[in-house]
Amino acid sequence: MKRRANYIHPLLIFIAMQIIWLSLLALWIYWYVSNYKLVQEFGAKYLPDFFQSTTRVQFFTLIFGLILFIILLAGMYFVFIFLTKQININLLYETFIANFTHELKSPLASIQLYLETMSRRKIDAKTQKEFLGRMLQDTQRLKRVIDAILDISQIEQRKKMFNRELVSVKDTFPQLIKSSQQQFKIPDENIRLKVECDGFVKIDRDAFQIVFSNLVDNAIKYSAGNLQIDIRIFKQGKNLIIEFSDHGIGIHKEDQKQIFQKFFRVSRSHLPDIRGTGLGLYHVREIIRGHEGKITVFSPGIGKGTTFTIALPLINIKDREPTFRLAKKKGLLK
């Protein structure tokens, strides 16, 4: 709240300055209009020739001044919008730094605690194995966060080259989803997959593993203890559609427009603080865009769950029959 107040003060000063100069301009116009009739009578009486010649010039000057005034107002409006966006970006960035620091410190503190315990006490083999397993989980968590930031940086700088390959929908996507399910240790009854079509798409398997892992992680965080994930894969026109639905806490309508923005995190004052960096869904969107696809989100409201819809272009195998047979023969088709 204090950080936000620091940014509000300059905005209020900017708005106040605009109000002051607009008020001054309005007073000048009022003074001119109220005295124009008097000036007109004086000019017509004492300087009729000069007054008639300057009337047209005054008219064009007025029109030109009005145009400049409109341009000035438009410029001020765009400056205000730009400042507002920059302030929001700065606030999101500061929140990201705080969350990212927490994401780094938490697993490091956990690893340090286990190592100190193991160095100071004699621990049996079973407990030692348990400690090592938890430390491995913490290092994997650290690796995911750091890899995500590096990956996003490469995508934004157009340095990321996706290793896209032709894959079968029925063979590949269930494997990727199963891998994410195992990663987060989700029981089979809590995740339902329905594949209604077959076909071929060109994807980077590792990148789409990140996509599904982020969506699963997001569903777990916002499940409110009621985790149930439904995934439906079907064909719509020339696109493959993947619907990823959960039965969690849902998303406000106004938040749905910003959910894929960098650093954006949904605020939930009625829920305990949920860890995260605000990069997960942004990362997902950038990966899908890199595959010429699109992702959208829909939630009927709070407490009614959320559905993410991914659209990917299907590959027409008939147009690529020689390539398809060669890939199949060499075992390159997954």
Q: What is the distance between the alpha carbons of residues 117 and 229, in angstroms, rounded to a whole number?
A: 38
Instruction: Write the CATH number for 187.
Output: 3.30.565.10
DSSP letter for each residue of 115-153: HHHHHHS---HHHHHHHHHHHHHHHHHHHHHHHHHHHHH
The secondary structure element, H or E, covering residue 246 is: strand 239-246
Do 87 and 181 fall into the same domain? no
Per-residue exposure over 190-212, b if at least 16 CB sit within 10 Å of its own CB, e if not: ebeeebeeebbbebbbebbbbbb
Domain-located, residue 36: yes
Domain-located, residue 230: yes
CA angle 99, 101, 105 (to 5 degrees): 120
- Domain of residue 24, residue span: 2-92
Domain-located, residue 144: no
Tokens 């940014």 map to which residue?
7
Please choose, from the candidates 327, 299, 265, the residue with its C-alpha nearest in 3D space to the C-alpha of residue 95. Answer: 265
Do 77 and 171 fall into the same domain? no
* Prediction pTM value: 0.67
Say what angle helices 2-46 and 48-120 make with each other, to 10 degrees. Answer: 180
Q: What is the distance between the alpha carbons of residues 324 and 310, in angstroms, rounded to a whole number?
A: 25
| Whether pLDDT at 289 is above 90 | yes
Do 88 and 179 fall into the same domain? no
Model confidence pLDDT, tens digit, residues 181-226: 998 889 999 999 999 998 999 999 999 999 999 999 989 888 877 8
Model confidence pLDDT, tens digit, residues 13-58: 777 777 887 787 778 777 776 766 666 666 666 666 655 555 566 6
Domain-located, residue 286: yes
Strands 306-313 and 165-168: unpaired
Which of these three, 92, 122, 138, is where a domain ends? 92
pLDDT at 311: 97
Residue 288: what residue type?
I
CB 287 within 8 A of CB 214: no
Q: What is the distance between the alpha carbons of residues 131 and 137, in angstroms, rounded to a whole number?
A: 10
- Give the rounded percent of residues in the chain with a pLDDT score beyond 70: 78
Domain-located, residue 202: yes
Model confidence pLDDT, tens digit, residues 292-319: 999 999 998 888 889 999 999 998 876 5
